[in-house]
Amino acid sequence: MDEIIFEVTQEPDGGYCAECLTESIFTQGDTWDDLRANVKEAVQAFYFDRPKPSGVRLHLIRDEMLVLG
């Protein structure tokens, strides 16, 4: 397995949530650095007894409303 992909969303009250698109892995973090560390830890725990992917891709989804007027 080359890599796994996480969809990352920024929470309205701050912080980030990350959900893997192909495995049942979910984590969160208060900052981007916290999230990165938590994703690494969650992936290592999920794959503790089998080969790990070579990389993890974090795909940030940003929802922004623009007011026209």
The tens digit of pLDDT for each residue in 44-55 reads: 999 999 999 999
Contacts of 1 (CB under 8 A, 6+ apart): 51, 52, 53, 54
What is the domain partition of the chain in residue ranges? 3-61
pLDDT band at 16 (very low <50, low <70, confident <90, very high): very high
Whether 25 shows a pLDDT value over 90: the answer reads: yes
pTM of the full structure: 0.87
Q: What is the pLDDT of residue 1?
A: 66
